[in-house]
Amino acid sequence: MSESKLETAVHDLFDELMPENLDWEGIVREYPLPAVALAALGGFLLGRSHGPAILAAVSSFAAAEVAKNVSSLIGEEID
């Protein structure tokens, strides 16, 4: 997924999760340090409860991307 598509997907996800009248981008611009602290706390709690599943998903994605890039370099499909 390209960076612009990823950025759009993240923005769309936040728009779906947040209440419609909440300007979360404005809040983050106004209070950047508390926003980063809240994101870090959320990431920590998410990692503690779902860490192994997240690590497995990220590892699987990374392996697939490496295989795709290597196969494009050598011109063959790797399964």
State the pLDDT at residue 1: 54
State the pLDDT at residue 79: 56
State the pLDDT at residue 32: 94
pTM: 0.49
Phi, psi for 59 (deg, rounded to 5): -65, -40
State the pLDDT at residue 37: 95
1-46 pLDDT, tens digit per residue, is 556 777 787 778 777 877 878 887 898 999 999 999 999 998 888 8
